[in-house]
Structure formats: C-alpha cells, structure tokens
Amino acid sequence: MTIKKLIEFAETGDKNTDGLDLDRGFPSRLMPARQWFNWLFNSLTVKVNELIDAIDSPTGTLNLNLKKLNDSEVGVVKLWLSTSMPENHLEIKGQTLNKSDYPVLFKNYGITAEQFTLPDTRGEFVRGLDNSRGIDAGRILGSHQDDMLKAHVHTYFKDNTGGGSASAGGSGAGGEGDTGETGGTETRPRNIAMIYIIKVK
C-alpha cells in the first residue's frame, strides 16, 4: 500500500477496531486491516501534536528543561578564539555588571550586591586560586597579582690579571662583578593569545 493510499484511508477509512489489539495489531490469522493503519496514523498524530505543544509552550516540560540546562551554564568561563563574541557571552575585561541585567549570573555566583565587577583578563595569565593550599596564600578570588622573580643569587668573580674569570673558591685574585643586563621587557613562558569569555545569560 502506497503512502498516498494510507493517507487516503486515514482520512476516509473505516474506524472500526473490533478484534484489534492496539499494541499488537489484529490476530495473526487476519491480514493487516485498514483499521490498523488508521489507528497508527491517529496515534502518530497525537504524539506529534504533543511534541509541538511541548516545544511551543514556554511552560512545557521540554522548554523548562532546556531553560534549566541553559541557566546552569550561566557563569561558565571559556577560552575563545575570535574577537566576535557568541550570543549571551561577554569578554572578561574589567567591566561592571548590574544585577538587574544578569540575574541568573548573580544567582549562580551567589552575589547579593547590585553590581559585580569582572576582572580584566586581557594580557594576563590566569592562576588557580590557592584556596587554603598554602602555595599562593592570601589571595582573593579574582584579584590581580604583579609579576615577580623568585629571590636567588648569582656570584661572579673577575680575574684582575686579565686572564678571564674565576669561579668562587677558584684560583685568581679579583673582585665581584655583574654579568650585565639581559632579557626583554617581561618574564613569560611560551604562550598563545586567546580571549577569556563568560556566559552571562
């Protein structure tokens, strides 16, 4: 039976379902009847309509679950490889946000104040909060930290005889000196520039 014939039957066919088990069809001794196809089309139509209602209704189960899933992602920070922001995201660059504009973000972060200022991540490396571990103690979440070089010593001895340098404890009389300045404008590891973004809605 073609789809055209099935559609025609669904519209005009016999609605009698005598002897029909709606889960299994008609008894096996009988050939599939038009009533079975009609019931099948009616059942599919009901299910399709239920799905459409669930999608269209803002209070439908599907939409409520989608909203719950979306809200759980608000506040998540990501690395982004474009200067164009995706929908409902902001670059984290030190701007101040109002609670009235981003209520879900404030709720997820547990912020009761009416405003919240994001840190400025542009040009910065992000470091995990010490959180009582004792390696970088005294830090506040979102706080800035200046660069630093860990204290250390370089000892260098000059040989007054003009024959080069001598290490500490070695031969040759002379005095301490310095190695001269070397390096660039900052201390940094190899890196790739990307943008930190946050989902705000």
Burial zone of 153 (CB within 10 Å; 0-12 exposed, 13-18 middle, 19+ buried): exposed
Q: pLDDT tens for residues 5-55?
A: 555 655 666 655 565 555 555 555 454 556 666 667 777 888 887 777 777
Q: What's the rounded Cα separation, in Å, for the pair 136 and 150? A: 13
SS3 of 117, please?
A: strand
Measured from the Cβ of residue 92, the count of other Cβ atoms closer than 10 Å reads 21
Q: What are the distances in angstroms from CA 46 to CA 11, 40, 54, 156, 185?
A: 15, 10, 12, 88, 70
Check residue 175 and give its pLDDT: 63
Q: pLDDT tens for residues 165-181?
A: 444 444 555 566 666 77
Task: Map out the domains of the chain as residue ranges.
Answer: 3-56, 74-123+194-199
74-123+194-199 classified as CATH 3.40.50.300:
no
Measured from the Cβ of residue 100, the count of other Cβ atoms closer than 10 Å reads 9
pTM over 0.75: no
Average pLDDT over residues 144-154: 87
Average pLDDT over residues 98-103: 97
